[in-house]
Structure 1
Amino acid sequence: MLLIYTQKVTPRIVYVFKHICTHILGIPIKFTSKIEEFIAHDGAKLSYGRQSLGNEFFIQKVDLLMEQGFSELEIKVQPWEDTICFFQLPEASDLPFDIFAASFYLLSRYEEYLPHVKDAEGRFPAAESLAYQESFLHKPVVDIWAIKFRDILLSRFPNLEYKERRFKTGTIIASENTFIFRNKGFLRSFIGLMSDFFHLNLGKVIDRLKIWMRLTKDPHDVFDDLIKLIKQHKVYMLFMFQLSDFSIHDRNISHNRIPHRAVIKSVADYAKVGLLLGFYATEEIQTLRKEKLRMEEIIHSPVENVMNFKYNLRLPDQYNNLTELEINNDHSMGYPDVPGFRSGTCTPYLFYDINMEVTTPLKVHPYAFSSNAIGKMSKNKLEEDLHRMLAEVKDVKGMFRAVFENQDFSRYSDKDYNYKLLKQIHEIE
């Protein structure tokens, strides 16, 4: 057990110390504000304050974890061994920077509360982030810092107990449109057929006719192939299905269509399924509740996993809506067009609401790669980035998550290349 002394135990301190020490490193911790208790402790101990108290491991604090709310911060990124750091400290500290304040800054998404330039879709773009601007977006720095901190701590207290973890991979399959042609209704299908004729997409015209006559499967219905992959190679996949009302933003078929529901039920027999939020569900809790109930009625169990596939995260409002509806796991934390670690970590973590200064029960599962990035960079560069990020996550024994769409594996996409990337991630030969 690691005894931690700080003059004042704030919610931010409890949050970030628990994440780094307990969730990443598996080190049991206890807090105290009593100097006598701390000095008398003869085991591993750490003080977090202005000055050292004796022979403990000492980290001099910066003010971030003692504050409330948010304000503009001046951050200077500097090298530290083979990585980077910020919130530098003087030599009196046993670490050259405040690992806990720096980790809190990234995990809480502090910078997304500050004024920033949104992209055309109203989203926080990667280019606005400190990690992108300082070229460490591809590194899970919070985990890297934690492992280095553990090793230094063990050199001081070799009997300190901790738990090793193991490297894992996982893929999310986002199904915004379960089918491309099937069950779209007469008017939508007729307009689509005329459009294909007009643009001389004769292959799609033939496919439409075959599907209408039930001679072949819909090209987007690739779920059997993915389930086969799960069975053969024991890979982890989480399938997200959209159940929104039809609108200009959400174009899936009705949630009442039997084939749509049948696909969801079939997939749920072999893998976890979750809810892919529609456009209005990301903004209105009433719509979110409606879509949640639809999914629960289909799978006959509570919705535990959701994803904002529009990527227009509005923090903390959207996460607070999930918490209010008792949805425990979100998979939206990443950049759709740029590979990397948006919150600086490859470890799931609880969301901290800076507005309310409270740790919420919502667990955030960050992803490092989305298939939306394909085509925005060369294939060689993309594969190199994937290889590098996978190596980084392996080194810290974290969880590498990727996001694909069901349509990525249809014959209308470069499915062979997309399968190649999927197999690279899961190390399938």
Structure 2
Amino acid sequence: MLLVYTHKITPRVKYIFKHICTRVLGIDVSFTTTIEEFIAHESLKMSYTKQPLGTEFFIKSHDILFEQGLSDIDFHVHNWGSTKGFFSNGEKGALPFDIFASSFYLLSRYEEYLPHVKDEYGRFLATESVAYKYGFLHQPIVDIWSYKFKDALQNFFPKFQFPIKAYSIRPIIDVPSAYLYRLKGIMRTVGGIFKDVFQFNFKGLYTRFMVLFGLKHDPFDTFKYIINKQKQTKHKFLFFFLIGAYSTYDKGISVNKKKFVSLIKQVADYCKVGLKTSFFSTEDISILKKEKLQMEAIINTALVATRQSFSKLNLPESYRNLIDLEIQEDYTMGYVNHIGFRAGSCTPFLFYDLDYEVQTPLKVYSYHLMDYSLLKTQSLLDKKIVLNDIISEIKKVNGEFVPVFHNYTFSDIDTWKGFKELFNIILDSAYED
């Protein structure tokens, strides 16, 4: 166990030390403000305050972990080996930066509470983030800092044995619409036919009629293929089905369609199933509650996980609504069009509410890559290089890779050509050294 001496034990201090020490490095941590207790401790120990007590393992603390509320923090980002660092703390400490303060800044999404530009869907943009601006979005920097901290501790306490963590994957299958043509109802089907005609999309019109007459497979119906892939790996896929009402943003299948409900039940026999919440439920807890109850009636168990439509998050309200409805996990934290680490980490973390200054029970699984972000890369070879690069970054810190693919990604549509092979690379990465 690591004992941390500090001048004041705040919720922020406890939160970030437990993430870095326990969740990333696998060691227990406790805190004291009593010098005598600190001196008497005979295992791992460190001081985290403004001045060292003596010659102990010491990291100079930044004020952010001892404040309440928000302030416009001015800091400079510096090179630190092959990565970056900020909240510089001088030469006295064991590390040149206060990694606990900077990790808290990233994990709490402090910057998303501050004034920023949003996109047309009301989302925080990757280009607004400190990680993008200073060129470390592609790195799980919180985990990298954690391992730098571990190495420094190991040098100071050479006899201590740290537990060993292994790289893992958590594939996400997002299902905004289970079918392209099937189960859409008469009005939507007729509207789709007229749209194909007016756009001279005769190939699509032909496919539509072939599917509707049962002569061809629906392009989006790739579930048999995905389930077969699930059977080949020990890592459970997590499906998110949209069951919310039809709207400007959400154009899924009606939950009143028995064949759609049957599909969800079938998938739940092999994989984990969560709720892809509708766009308007992000701001209306009554809609969210209704969708939660509908999904629980389908899967016949308590809903554990959600993913918000369009990856839209309004912090802290979006997460507070999930907590109020006793949802345990969320998979929305990430960027649709950029590969990387929105919260700076490839280790799941608990949401910290900056307004209430409290660690919540909601576990956030930040995703690191969405299939759409690979479309900017032209050739399949280049896509493989980009994919292997992020896998390599996560393997360096024995983290968990969370990629988001859609059911239609596995179709024969030209846009998604080669993506089955990319998905196989992800699955195979869990079994390679």
What is the aligned partner in structure 2 of residue 166 from structure 1?
A: 166
Residues 341-352 of structure 1 mapped to structure 2, 5 A cutoff? 341-352=341-352
What is the aligned partner in structure 1 of residue 292 from structure 2?
A: 292
What is the aligned partner in structure 1 of residue 224 from structure 2?
A: 224
What is the one-letter code of the residue matched to 2:48? Y
How far apart are 1:305 and its partner, in Å? 0.8
Provide the rounded CA distance (Å) in 2 between the counterparts of 1:336 and 1:406. 16
How far apart are 1:119 and its partner, in Å? 1.6
How far apart are 1:246 and its partner, in Å? 1.4
Q: Would you say the 8 A contact 1:407–1:413 is kept in 2?
A: no
SS in structure 2 of the partner of residue 289 of structure 1: helix
Structure 1 residue 406 corresponds to structure 2 residue 381: no
**Distance verdict in 2 for CA 1:232–1:44, change over 3 Å:** closer
What is the aligned partner in structure 2 of residue 135 from structure 1?
A: 135
Per-residue displacement from partner, 1:61-84 (whole Å, max 9, x unpaired)? 010000011111112111112221
SS in structure 1 of the partner of residue 402 of structure 2: strand
What is the one-letter code of the residue matched to 1:64? I
How far apart are 1:9 and its partner, in Å? 0.3
What is the aligned partner in structure 2 of residue 3 from structure 1?
A: 3
How far apart are 1:235 and its partner, in Å? 4.2
Residues 2-401 of structure 1 mapped to structure 2, 5 A cutoff? 2-379=2-379, 381-401=382-402
Per-residue displacement from partner, 1:243-288 (whole Å, max 9, x unpaired)? 1011222111210101111110010000001000101111111000
Question: What's the % identity of the aligned pairs?
Answer: 45
SS in structure 2 of the partner of residue 31 of structure 1: strand
SS in structure 2 of the partner of residue 267 of structure 1: helix
What is the one-letter code of the residue matched to 2:389? R
How far apart are 1:215 and its partner, in Å? 2.7
Provide the rounded CA distance (Å) in 1 between the counterparts of 2:351 and 2:233. 32
SS in structure 2 of the partner of residue 218 of structure 1: coil
Provide the rounded CA distance (Å) in 2 between the counterparts of 1:222 and 1:182. 13
Provide the rounded CA distance (Å) in 2 between the counterparts of 1:160 and 1:305. 37
Q: Would you say the 8 A contact 1:47–1:56 is kept in 2?
A: yes
Q: Would you say the 8 A contact 2:369–2:404 is kept in 1?
A: yes
Q: TM (normalized to structure 1)?
A: 0.97
Greater mean alpha carbon deviation, residues 196-205 or residues 56-65: 196-205
What is the one-letter code of the residue matched to 2:412? R
Q: TM (normalized to structure 2)?
A: 0.96
Provide the rounded CA distance (Å) in 2 between the counterparts of 1:359 and 1:80. 30
How far apart are 1:90 and its partner, in Å? 1.1
How far apart are 1:309 and its partner, in Å? 2.7
How far apart are 1:413 and its partner, in Å? 4.2
How far apart are 1:37 and its partner, in Å? 0.9
Provide the rounded CA distance (Å) in 1 between the counterparts of 2:187 and 2:52. 74
SS in structure 2 of the partner of residue 100 of structure 1: helix
Per-residue displacement from partner, 1:163-191 (whole Å, max 9, x unpaired)? 21100112111100111111111121112
Greater mean alpha carbon deviation, residues 74-83 or residues 348-357: 74-83
Task: Extract unaligned runs of 5+ from structure 2.
Answer: none
- How many pairs are equivalent? 429
SS in structure 2 of the partner of residue 239 of structure 1: strand
Q: Would you say the 8 A contact 1:171–1:403 is kept in 2?
A: yes
SS in structure 2 of the partner of residue 342 of structure 1: coil
What is the one-letter code of the residue matched to 1:56? E
C-alpha root-mean-square deviation of aligned residues, in Å?
A: 1.5
Per-residue displacement from partner, 1:142-199 (whole Å, max 9, x unpaired)? 0011111111101111233432110011211110011111111112111211222333
Q: Would you say the 8 A contact 2:312–2:332 is kept in 1?
A: no
How far apart are 1:381 and its partner, in Å? 4.8
Per-residue displacement from partner, 1:180-227 (whole Å, max 9, x unpaired)? 111111121112112223333223222222222223332111111001
